[in-house]
Amino acid sequence: MKYKGKIGEFKWWGFVLSLLLCVSVGFLAYSRFVFVNGPTQDQIKATADDALTRVNDLQAQVANLKEQVSALQKQVLSIDKGHGLH
């Protein structure tokens, strides 16, 4: 047997085999992806602002409660003095 031009020609089965391999790998890889929408920048900013507002409100509530506690402590002290405990 001697070399002929046919040996260097492209074979149709080469393309088919390559395409089958690439398509199967491609779809296998694609099936592993999970596509979700994350929050937008505006949503993130709105959430952050909301959290900041709630923190400020809580801080104000804490300050208010502290004032009430100190007022109650003063009342308790004055009552104790009237009964002669100090």
Cα–Cα distance for residue pair 66/58, rounded to 1 Å: 12
65 binds other proteins (CB under 8 A): no
Cα–Cα distance for residue pair 70/79, rounded to 1 Å: 14
Applying the rule CB under 8 A, the residues between 17 and 46 that interact with other proteins are 17-19, 21-23, 25-27, 29-30, 33, 35-38, 40-41
Q: Number of residues interacting with other proteins: please give it, by CB under 8 A.
A: 25
Short-list 21, 37, 18, 39, CA closest to 29: 21
Residues making contact with other proteins (CB under 8 A): 3, 7-8, 10-11, 14-15, 17-19, 21-23, 25-27, 29-30, 33, 35-38, 40-41
